[in-house]
Amino acid sequence: AQSVTQPDIHITVSEGASLELRCNYSYGATPYLFWYVQSPGQGLQLLLKYFSGDTLVQGIKGFEAEFKRSQSSFNLRKPSVHWSDAAEYFCAVGASYGNKLVFGAGTILRVKS
Amino acid sequence: NAGVMQNPRHLVRRRGQEARLRCSPMKGHSHVYWYRQLPEEGLKFMVYLQKENIIDESGMPKERFSAEFPKEGPSILRIQQVVRGDSAAYFCASSPGPSFEQYFGPGTRLTVT
């Protein structure tokens, strides 16, 4: 069965610093991969997705992610973090049956000024 | 175009009562997915419905939980005889067809006292 691991439960970065959030997945075929962001008390907003093609994917709010098949990873990056980026970030993979998404446990990002 | 609507946003029920959560998909979307987010965990798939059909209910608890998506009206997630362990955020997502690219609502936060 598919699974997603986000190794970091919490990450704190200074405003203006770069960010990388890690995501590893378990899936036999070429995966459909997603990053979502959830602000406190809110729903999930899609940041970016990877289905095929170019392994470096650009998303909204200045985020990007790189698919690395050899490492089964899909890490999220941002060159310069803003205080408004503080939120919880979820990586997800599309399961092989039924169009359901399998989510990681999430990484809480704190931004210090 | 309005997004996915969920109501109520917050619901408090006493143990043993019934909880009804409603989800109105985006206009033109006929596929609905329900996910549950337990405290400090990622989202877990519950059920996937198309109008008048349950496509995949592999994530639904065997007892007390049911879901429907009638020809007219919103999708309903129903929890009978709620227990404290049902306290969670319940998210609905929709898509125009079978797809991993799902649009999420703001969620219903259920508290069982």
pLDDT digits (tens, 9 = 90+) for A20-30: 999 999 987 77
Of chain A, the end-to-end C-alpha distance in Å amounts to: 41
pLDDT given for residue A58 in this prediction? 97
- Res. A80 pLDDT band, cuts 50 70 90: very high
Tell me chain B's radius of gyration from C-alpha atoms: 13
- DSSP letter (8 states) at residue B95: E
Q: Quick one: which of B63, B3, B6 has its CA closest to B34?
A: B6
pLDDT recorded at residue A98: 66
Query: Which of B41, B45, B106 comes nearest A101 by C-beta?
Result: B45
The chain-wide mean pLDDT, for chain B, equals 94
pLDDT, tens digit (0-9, with 9 covering 90-100), for B46-72: 999 999 999 999 999 999 999 999 999
In which band, very low, low, confident or very high, does the pLDDT at B111 lie, cut at 50, 70 and 90?
very high
B95/A99 touch (CB, cutoff 8 Å), yes or no: yes
A30 or A72, greater pLDDT: A72
Distance (Å) from the C-alpha of residue B106 to the closest C-alpha of chain A? 4
Confidence bin at A56 (pLDDT 50/70/90): very high
Please tell me if residue A101 touches chain B, with a CB cutoff of 8 Å.
yes
Spatial neighbors of A4 by CB under 8 A, at least 6 apart, are: A23, A24, A25, A26, A91, A92, A93, A102, A103, A104, B42
pLDDT digits (tens, 9 = 90+) for A95-107: 766 688 999 999 9
To the nearest whole percent, how much of chain B has pLDDT over 70? Answer: 99
Mutate to test the interface with B, among A2, A8, A100 (most CBs of B within 10 A): A100
For residue B8, cis peptide bond before it (omega within 30 degrees of 0)? yes
Task: Outline where DSSP puts E strands in A10-86.
Answer: 10-14, 19-21, 24-26, 33-38, 44-50, 56-58, 64-68, 73-78
Instruction: Establish, for the pair of chains A and B, how many residue pairs have beta carbons separated by less than 8 Å.
Output: 64
For residue B36, how many C-alpha atoms fall within 13 Å in the half-sphere facing its CB? Answer: 18
pLDDT in tens, B80-98: 999 999 999 999 999 998 8
Cβ-based contacts of A103 with chain B (< 8 Å): 35, 42-44
Mean pLDDT of chain A: 92
Task: State whether A42 and B106 contact (CB < 8 Å).
Answer: yes
- In chain B, positions 51-110, which contact chain A (CB-CB < 8 Å)? 55-56, 58-59, 91, 95, 98-107, 109
Closest CA to A11 of A113, A63, A89: A89
Is the pLDDT at B10 greater than 80, yes or no?
Answer: yes
The string of pLDDT tens digits covering residues B30-46 is: 999 999 998 878 899 99
Contact A105 B33 (CB under 8 A): no
How confident is residue A43, by pLDDT bands cut at 50, 70 and 90?
confident
Indicate the pLDDT class of residue B112, thresholds 50, 70 and 90.
Answer: very high
